[in-house]
Structure 1
C-alpha cells in the first residue's frame, strides 16, 4: 500500500485523516499521523476553558479514539527531505529515527509568534493549547486566594493584575472571558473589590479584532473599558522582567499573570528543516488545489493545508491574497485535502479550495458576544448564543458535543466551577514533602 504521511494532528491534519479513513478502499493506502500530542485541540473553546465554562478535556478530541484505522505516531517531525521522501521523527522516548512515505500532507499548524522582549520567556504563558488555558485559569484562582489574605498594597495589586499581549480573536476572547470570570469571582471574595483588579490589553496596531470592521472593533474596546479594563492601542511591550511590565507608551506596572497571544508564526520545521518551498514568512507555498508548489511548478506527492500553508484565497477580491489562518479555513481545507488526495490516488485532477467566509463571531464574556457577516453586525446576548450554537455544532464527534452541552446546562443552574487545581502542575510536591519529613524524623530517631 502507498503510505500517506500526515504531519500534525491539528484541525487540518485531523480532518484529513478522518475523511480519508471513511473514504479509502481496503488496501488502497495506509494513513500515518505524526503528532507529539494525542489529541486535537478545539481552539475556539480555549477562552471558555480559561473562564471555566468548558472542561479542559472537552476541548480536546482524542486522535486514538476517533482515528481507528490510522497509524498514530507520538512524536515530532524535526525534518522533511522530500527528495528521498523521508522524515525525521523525534519520539517522546528514545532516539530520533526516519520514516519513509509515498505522499506527504504537511499540516503542522503554527506556533505563537514571539519577540525578544526581556522577561517574556520567563514570565509569560501562551494560549494555544489546553494545558495553557487551564494554567491561566488556575493562576487567576490562586491569585485571588492569595490576595484575599493580604492587606491592600503593591503585592495584592500585582497578584490581581492581568496583562494580555495581542488583540486578535484569541487574545480578545481570552481577555474578555478572564475579565468576566474575575469580576464574577469578586462575589465570592468579600475581602476584595473591583478597585483591586487591573486588566491590561496591549495591541501593537491601532485597533483590535482585525477581522471585523472599525465600528464593531471600537464597540468592543468601549465594552472592555466599561468593565474596567485598560486597552493600550499602538503600543508594544518593552520588557516584563520579574513581572514588571514596561510599555512603549510609558506605562509601567507589576503584573502576576502575563498572557502572550501576539499572532502566529511558521514552525521551525518549515523555516529551517525541509527542502519543500516556502515563502518569506516561512509558510509552505501551496497552490489553490493544496498541492505544494506554484502556478507553474508542482511538487509531486506533496500537499499542505492549515495555518502552516500559504493557500491562495480565490474568494478574496484582493489579487494575491492568502486564506486567513483560522478554524473555518483549517477544517475546510482538511476536508478538501482528503478529497483531493483520493482524487489523485484514483487518477483524477484535484479541485481548488474555495471558501466564502461565513462571518466572524467572538465571545466577550458570559452572555456577551459579537458577530459580523459583511455589513450585518449583531452584538450582545444573541451573538453570544450564536457563538455557542455554532461551536457546539462545529466541534467534532457527538461525544464532545454532548459533554459540552451538559457542562453548559449544569453551569446555567449552578454557575461556573471556581475550584483551582494549580497543584496538578506539581502533583508530587505534597507527597515529596511528607516523605522528606519522614526520612529526617527517622534519621534523628536513629
Structure 2
C-alpha cells in the first residue's frame, strides 16, 4: 500500500490558508496529509485592520481560526527557521520546543508550499526600534488604537504645553494602503472621541503623513491618489511627499525637509520585505529576495516546491509587457492559492499543470468613515460610493460565512449606535496590577 504524500504548507496567511483549504477539499481520502506550520493559530484579514483600530470591527472578527477552517489538516503553531529542500526537511521551532529546551524539530515532507508572507521593512532610523509602532498584525492595530486614546487622555490631564503638543501629534510613515487607511480611520475615530473631552478639540491634534515618493496610494492611479491627498489635506492632515523620516530619537520626529515634531506616536508602514526563512533555504531567489517562481506557481529549478503570494516573484501573464510580476497583494494571493492547490493535486496524480493568469481588477481604499477612493475595471470612484465599494468588496472576500455575518452585523450596529471610545491598554499588560501589588515593577509604556 502506498504511503500518503506529505504536503508541508509553511505560512498561515492568505496563500497558506487558502491553499490548505482547497487541498483538503480536493484530495481524496488517504491521498495526502497536509501539515500547516504557522506562527499564529489564525489568519489575519489585513484589509480590516484599520477598521479594527478605529473600533468599527471587533478584533476577533478580523481573524479566522485555522483549526476550525482547516479541520482536515494538521496545524503546527511554530516558526519555520530553515528549509533544506534537497533533503526535504524543514527546521521548525514551536512553543513546545522552547519549553522543553530542545531548540527545534525537523519536519519531513514530499511536497513543499512555501508561503510565509512578508515582514515589516524597517530602515536604520535612529529611535525607530524604541518608539516606532508597526501596523501589520491585529495586536499592533488594537495596540495603536489604545495608544491614540491614551495620548488624548494624557493631553487632557497634563498642564505642560510641551507634553500636550507631543501627545497630540501623530506621525505616520508610508503612503501605501496600510499607512493611509490607518491614518484615515484613526483620525476619524480621534475626531469623534474629542467631543467627549472638555479640553481637547479636533483642531488641537496634528496628523502627519510622510511619504518618500511623490504620490500616495499608487494602486488606485494617479488621479485618485491626488484626490486622496486633497481629501486628507481638507481634514487638516499634513501630507508631506518626497520626504523621509530621518530620526525619531528622544520622541522627536526629524524629517528630511528639516522639520522637527515632538511626538509620542510614530507609526511605521513603509513597506515590507521577504520573510527571513526564504534566505535560510536552498531555493532560488530573485534580486529582491523573493522566490523565483514560474507561472505554474512552482519554484524555478526545484521539483516538488511551490510558492505564491508575497514570498514569490510570479510572472504576470496578463500584463501588457513581458517580464512583469504579479503585485504582492491579497487579490492575487487568494486566486494564486486556488491554482496552486489544483496544481499540487494534479502533480500528485500525474496530470498536467496550468498557469496562473488573472487580470488585475483594480483597487479600493478607505480614507475613514464614508470616505474612500477606488479604481476598479477602469472606473474611478471617490467619496461615499468608493467607501461603500471598499466595504462591499472586502466583505465578499473575508473568509467564512461566519465572519461575513459577524462583520456585517457589527457594521449595522455601528450605524445605529455611537462609536466606542474606550482604551483597553491594560489588556496588553494583564499582570501589571498584580505584579505591582506583589511588590514588582509595573511595565513601562511607550
Contact between 1:285 and 1:292, CA under 8 Å: does it hold in 2?
Answer: yes
Alignment length (residue pairs): 432
Contact between 2:132 and 2:265, CA under 8 Å: does it hold in 1?
Answer: yes
1:354 pairs with 2:350: no
- Alpha-carbon separation, structure 1, partners of 2:343 and 2:349: 10
Contact between 2:190 and 2:202, CA under 8 Å: does it hold in 1?
Answer: no
Q: Name 1:287's counterpart in structure 2.
A: 294
Q: Name 2:228's counterpart in structure 1.
A: 220
Q: Name 2:193's counterpart in structure 1.
A: 185
Q: Secondary structure at the match of 1:76?
A: strand
Q: Name 1:317's counterpart in structure 2.
A: 320
From 150, 170, 175, the equivalent of 1:142 is: 150
Q: Secondary structure at the match of 2:354?
A: coil
Alpha-carbon distance, 1:212 to partner:
2.0
Q: Secondary structure at the match of 1:117?
A: coil
- Alpha-carbon separation, structure 1, partners of 2:146 and 2:438: 26
Q: Name 1:398's counterpart in structure 2.
A: 401
Can you give the 5+ residue segments of structure 2 that lack an aligned partner in the other structure? 98-102, 441-446
The runs of at least 4 aligned residues of structure 1 exceeding 2 Å deviation read 434-437
From 42, 45, 53, the equivalent of 1:42 is: 45
Q: Name 1:440's counterpart in structure 2.
A: none
1:131 pairs with 2:139: yes
Contact between 2:220 and 2:373, CA under 8 Å: does it hold in 1?
Answer: no
1:197 pairs with 2:183: no
Contact between 1:36 and 1:92, CA under 8 Å: does it hold in 2?
Answer: no
Alpha-carbon distance, 1:93 to partner:
3.1
Alpha-carbon distance, 1:407 to partner:
1.1
Q: Name 1:409's counterpart in structure 2.
A: 412
Contact between 2:365 and 2:387, CA under 8 Å: does it hold in 1?
Answer: yes
Alpha-carbon distance, 1:195 to partner:
2.9
Q: Secondary structure at the match of 1:370?
A: strand
Q: Secondary structure at the match of 2:29?
A: coil
Change (3 A) 1:327 1:407: same
1:33 pairs with 2:2: no
RMSD: 1.1
Can you give the 5+ residue segments of structure 1 that lack an aligned partner in the other structure? 438-446
Residues 311-330 of structure 1: per-residue CA shift (max 9 Å, x gap): 00111112211111111011
Q: Secondary structure at the match of 1:307?
A: helix
Contact between 2:88 and 2:110, CA under 8 Å: does it hold in 1?
Answer: yes
From 248, 260, 274, the equivalent of 2:256 is: 248
Q: Secondary structure at the match of 1:315?
A: coil
1:69 pairs with 2:72: yes
- Alpha-carbon separation, structure 1, partners of 2:250 and 2:357: 47
Contact between 1:167 and 1:203, CA under 8 Å: does it hold in 2?
Answer: yes
Q: Name 2:285's counterpart in structure 1.
A: 278
Residues 117-143 of structure 1: per-residue CA shift (max 9 Å, x gap): 110011111111100000010101111
- Alpha-carbon separation, structure 1, partners of 2:195 and 2:327: 40
- Alpha-carbon separation, structure 1, partners of 2:217 and 2:347: 38
**TM-score of the superposition, structure 1-length normalised?**
0.95
Alpha-carbon distance, 1:152 to partner:
6.3
Q: Name 1:210's counterpart in structure 2.
A: 218
Q: Secondary structure at the match of 2:304?
A: strand
- Alpha-carbon separation, structure 2, partners of 1:202 and 1:140: 18
Residues 179-224 of structure 1: per-residue CA shift (max 9 Å, x gap): 1111111111121122320111110000001112222111111111
Contact between 2:35 and 2:73, CA under 8 Å: does it hold in 1?
Answer: yes
- Alpha-carbon separation, structure 1, partners of 2:392 and 2:32: 37
From 150, 153, 164, the equivalent of 2:161 is: 153
Residues 74-119 of structure 1: per-residue CA shift (max 9 Å, x gap): 1000000001000100112322111110000001001111111110
Alpha-carbon distance, 1:362 to partner:
0.6
Matches within 5 A, 1:46-61: 46-61=49-64
Q: Name 1:329's counterpart in structure 2.
A: 332
**TM-score of the superposition, structure 2-length normalised?**
0.95
Q: Name 1:84's counterpart in structure 2.
A: 87
Q: Secondary structure at the match of 2:124?
A: coil
1:117 pairs with 2:117: no
Residues 316-351 of structure 1: per-residue CA shift (max 9 Å, x gap): 112211111111011111111111111111111211
Q: Secondary structure at the match of 1:291?
A: coil
From 243, 246, 255, the equivalent of 1:238 is: 246
Alpha-carbon distance, 1:375 to partner:
3.7
Q: Secondary structure at the match of 2:220?
A: coil
Contact between 1:88 and 1:97, CA under 8 Å: does it hold in 2?
Answer: yes
